[in-house]
Amino acid sequence: MSDYPFFYAIKPRKFHFDTYYKIFITETDFRGAKIAGQLMDEESVEVHFNFRGLLGVALSIVLERWAYKFVKLRYKTEKWYDEKIDIMDGKFLSVDKANFSYLPETIESVKIKRKSNFHTGFVNNSGVIEFYINDGSREKYIIYPIQDMDEIKENIAALIMNIEVE
């Protein structure tokens, strides 16, 4: 139901599983819809469960079968957001407690780092986007899978003037 530009991003966490978002850039704000956790696609499953040795291969087969259920759930969740949820509806944030909205006036600046981030292991990513919030906090998102960073920057620039690119 949304025709807004968007990008996919991982919210990395040190002591908890990562969260995978589809982040929409609307006329009024940035809206993040949680669509998955640590296991967001086939490539992430293969990286997480790439064990060596005879026992490792057997374990990989069992765990991958279990993990692919999460990947299917991710695609189902994303489809549900795309077809059934109006992201501009006031209820959007209550659909999942991990969903978020950043208003432009609450963002001091945005930093775009085009260098791939090692947090995703051996899976390629496009870099990092950091939102510096007026309260002094920083929200970091790893752009995964590979996406057009120039297009993302252009879409962000529709709301935020202060953008730094590394």
Domain membership of residue 137 (yes or no) is yes
End-to-end CA distance of the chain: 34
Question: How many domains would you assign to the chain?
Answer: 1
Strands of the chain, DSSP E: 6-11, 19-25, 30-36, 100-102, 107-113, 127-133, 138-143, 163-165
What are the pLDDT digits (tens) for 82-138?
999 999 998 999 999 999 999 999 999 999 999 887 766 667 899 999 999 999 999
DSSP state of 159: T
Domain that holds residue 107: 6-165
Domain membership of residue 1 (yes or no) is no
CA torsion 6-12-17-20 (nearest 10°) is 10
What are the pLDDT digits (tens) for 124-142?
899 999 999 999 999 999 9
Averaged pLDDT for residues 45-63? 73
Which amino acid is it at 74? Answer: R
Domain membership of residue 20 (yes or no) is yes
Domain membership of residue 107 (yes or no) is yes
Confidence of residue 55 (pLDDT cuts 50, 70, 90): low
Confidence of residue 54 (pLDDT cuts 50, 70, 90): low
Confidence of residue 165 (pLDDT cuts 50, 70, 90): very high
Residue pair 63/49 in contact by the 8 Å Cβ criterion: yes
Strands of 93-150, DSSP E: 100-102, 107-113, 127-133, 138-143
